[in-house]
């Protein structure tokens, strides 16, 4: 069974971990600088986080939303021995678009650009699931052996 379908999921996990680390650094720095009362983090009530920290926090939440459908699709594809060129290409396209979305959200945060990256990733994810469903229904798209 080919592992090719799994590597895009690892790449998305790496992105998520990078954002977790960024958020931790930002929160500690904001608390040390007095930009947020550390007690805020007990129950997330009060004045809230500074905008830059809130953006990263919201982005991390994004990485636990739609990508869950991606991870589920990858797991199903792998378990079913599906991972041919089409699914692998769609998986990498989805991950690349999520990286683009992250880069936009965590830097310029231009809503129009961010929405385009989000919409494109959503479209690719729909194509991924459609292709996976077709392959499972028809018995096509099996992964060629090897790593």
Place of tokens 């096509």: 140
CA distances from 1 to 77, 79, 80, 92, 144 (A): 11, 9, 10, 18, 7
Domains defined along the chain, listed by start: 7-138 (1.20.120.550)
pLDDT per position as a tens digit, 109-137? 999 999 999 999 999 999 999 999 999 99
Do 40 and 13 meet the contact criterion of CB atoms below 8 Å apart?
no
pTM comes to 0.91
> Is residue 103 over pLDDT 70?
yes
8 A C-beta contact, residue 95 and residue 12: yes
User: Cα(102)–Cα(55) distance, rounded to whole angstroms?
Assistant: 11
Q: 97 or 144: whose pLDDT is higher? A: 97
Say if CB 79 and CB 32 are below 8 A apart: no
**Residues 51-98 pLDDT 10s:** 999 999 999 999 999 999 999 999 999 999 998 999 999 999 999 999
Q: Above pLDDT 70, what percent of the chain?
A: 96
């Amino acid at each position: 069974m080919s592992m090719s379908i799994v590597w895009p999921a690892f790449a998305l996990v790496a992105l998520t971990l990078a954002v977790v680390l960024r958020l931790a650094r930002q929160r500690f720095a904001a608390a040390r600088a007095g930009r947020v009362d550390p007690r805020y983090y007990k129950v997330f009530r009060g004045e809230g986080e500074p905008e830059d920290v809130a953006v990263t926090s919201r982005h991390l939440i994004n990485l636990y939303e739609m990508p869950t459908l991606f991870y589920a699709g990858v797991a199903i594809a792998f378990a079913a021995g599906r991972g041919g060129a089409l699914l692998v290409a769609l998986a990498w396209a989805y991950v690349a678009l999520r990286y683009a979305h992250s880069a936009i959200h965590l830097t310029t945060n231009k809503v129009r650009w961010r929405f385009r990256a989000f919409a494109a990733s959503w479209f690719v994810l729909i194509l991924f699931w459609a292709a996976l469903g077709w392959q499972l229904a028809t018995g096509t798209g099996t992964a060629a052996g090897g790593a």
